[in-house]
Amino acid sequence: MNKKVDLLNGNIFSSLTGLALPIMVTAMLQMAYNLTDMAWLGFVGSDAVAAVGAAGMYVWLSQGVSALARMGGQVKVAHALGSKRPEEAARYASAALQMGILFALLFGAVSFFGAKPLIGFFGLKHASIVNNAQIYLKITCGLIFFSFLNAIITGIMTAMGDSRTPLFANVVGLVLNIVLNPLLIFGFGPWKGFGVAGSAIATVLAQLIVTLVFLLFLRKDRLLFDKVKIFQRLSWDYRKEIIRIGLPASIQNLIYTSISMILTRFVAGFGDTAVAVLRVGNQIESISWMTADGFAAAINSFIGQNYGAGQYHRVKKGYATAVRLMAVWGLLCTALLIFLPSQIFGVFIHEADVIPLGVRYLVILGVSQMFMCIELTTIGALSGLGRTLLCSVISILFTSARIPLAIILSNTSLGLDGIWWAIAISSIIKGILFFFCFLLVSKKLSKGKRPVVQFHSNIKKV
């Protein structure tokens, strides 16, 4: 059975959902990774959750670093494949992997040797929480190499129309993570557990296995990866094109995470327990945003290939289909968070005095879920057209607005809830703006002219 979905021909709904569903399930599996960690750490206590919450911000920051190679590589590979240039696509894939490996090694070194000041940024008060946060950071980010590699390979395979292989690889990783988490956190029989460190080790081992599964599949690929050469010397032009596409998305992610880190510092001012609430609430909320982000990857590749092929009618219809589906998903998530908050939050935090704080987080953020899903889907669509700079400008501007808004609202009677409202309000505004931006951009697509997509088939290999 062919694992690759034909994105250029046939029914748009079938092509899009055929590619998107495995990606969405993969995103849910990634979410399950995090929720599994939270569920087991919840039995250790809210202090352990707070430690992982602080260190986990740097794991999130790492995704912004890897986004440069992942997004740039995915879009350029999709454009090249859509224009029937597999050799060109392979060179872009090689350049993306080379960049990702370099970034992973640098990020890992900074995280390991700079753990103390990095965790010190959040101003946590309890020494045990600070110590556990440093340990978690050194393990997960110090060995971030496998996570970087998996993200870039997933992006390239998605550009190829293959979302089933990443799904299978992540299923294997999730099963291993579920098995290892309780064993390494609590121990088994004479085996002594490692607590927070055990959770970090389980995550890294699971990512390593995912990488090995990917390598097994890549050896059999004859469309692209048989032409990819990691140690190949490439012209700078390939990296320049990846940077041109990927840098805005990377900066956007880095700034977005940095803003979240600043907000986390504000939250810590309400006590270390509030950080645990933020961590758990964010992971629960990932039910909607990670799924939408997964669907965004699918619409990115769909639009990227059809844009490269000059099939603009499929670009517009593909987006319309995607945004309708994600709007419905967002409304379902809203209902879940608003009507079942205590039941959901109680799975992860068991202290009775902490649960009410988490309930308010879920109810407030629940209001914005549909808009957030539309925002992420549209970012994927615009990025597929190469409009990553536009996405970054809007995202950076209105996500940055969360900081002054959080300061203003948290100094009212809302208190901690004011920070949650700042996040929700900005998501609503961004969702509306991105939707209308795509409508304006799509009107400029010519029905007869081929898009301007830069290729370098005449570049000599050095």
Tokens 């029937």 belong to 84
What b/e sequence results for 200-231 when a residue is b if at least 16 CB atoms lie within 10 Å of its CB, and e otherwise? bbbbbbbbbbbbebbeebbeebeebbebbbee
Residue appearing with tokens 């986390």:
264
Domain boundaries, the chain: 12-443
Contact 293, 67 (CB under 8 A): no
Residue with tokens 């959902």: 17
pLDDT digits (tens, 9 = 90+) for 126-158: 899 899 999 999 999 999 999 999 999 998 988
Q: In 10 A of CB 102, how many CB atoms? A: 12
From the CA atom positions of the chain, what is the Rg in Å?
A: 22
Give start and end residues of each alpha helix (H) in 123-229: 127-140, 145-159, 164-186, 196-218
- Is the Cβ–Cβ distance between 3 and 162 less than 8 Å? yes
Of 420, 451, 448, 439, the closest CA to residue 374 belongs to: 439
Helix, strand, coil in percent for the chain, rounding step 5 = 80, 0, 20
Amino acid code (one letter) for 290: M
Ranges of residues in the chain whose predicted pLDDT is under 70: 1-5, 30, 33-34, 446-462
> What pLDDT score was predicted for residue 398?
92
State the pLDDT at residue 451. Answer: 44
- Give the per-residue pLDDT at 452: 43
Look at residue 448 in the predicted model and tell me its pLDDT.
Answer: 43
pLDDT of residue 3: 57
Q: CA nearest 89: which of 27, 156, 37?
A: 156
Gap between the Cα atoms of 33 and 70, Å rounded? 21
